[in-house]
Amino acid sequence: MGYAIEMFFDSASESHVRSLWDDFASFGSSSMRDGGSRPHVSLVVADVVDRPAIDQLLERFARAVKPFTLSLASLGFFPSSQPIAYLAPKVTPELLELHRCFFDQFASVASGIWQHYVPAVWVPHCTLAMGLLPQQIPPATNACQAFGLPFSCTVVEIGLVEFRPVKQLFAVPFAV
């Protein structure tokens, strides 16, 4: 079991990304749509978290961050035997600073932090599908082309998610 800190989109953006998940399901890749996830960008993942401390951290952090626009600018793949497809946001100094600030606080209330989420290594992404087969990559590319990139969305909320199975444990909106 693992835990992720995820940033969630406004309802219109979430709905639009879900429509892309539906397109992926049409060619056999429904892991995100059917797995209980919400469209998101993960800030950090860890094996163990201090629940009361994490909830307090999320509340404190959310009060200091206003909703912000994120441009999902391109389609990417994490290469492996079964690639992961994702929408890549345009990386800005502000996004990297937000991640670094959160990570610095998170590191004191979690253990087993996944190294892919350390500030110098983190690749921000909105997962579209996991375990793609080679024959699914062309329709994935076509679906993203039809989706319309870049896509501008608003990040409005941060939360703690337990996964495998996916279960949202806590979420708090960013300051308005």
The domain total for the chain is 1
Assign residue 160 the CATH number of its domain.
3.90.1140.10
**Residue scoring higher pLDDT (81 or 118):** 118
CA distance 19 to 140: 13
Interior angle at CA 7, CA 117 and CA 82, nearest 5: 55
pLDDT > 90: what percent of the chain?
A: 86
Give the strand pairing for 126-129 and 84-89. antiparallel
Would you state the pLDDT for residue 34? 86
**CA 97 – CA 129 distance, rounded (Å):** 27
The answer, yes or no, to whether residue 164 has pLDDT greater than 90, is no
pTM: 0.95
In this prediction, residue 28 carries a pLDDT of 85
Residue 59, SS3 per DSSP: helix
Residue 12 sits in which domain range? 2-173
pLDDT in tens, 47-81: 999 999 999 999 999 999 999 999 999 999 998 88
* pLDDT value for 161: 98
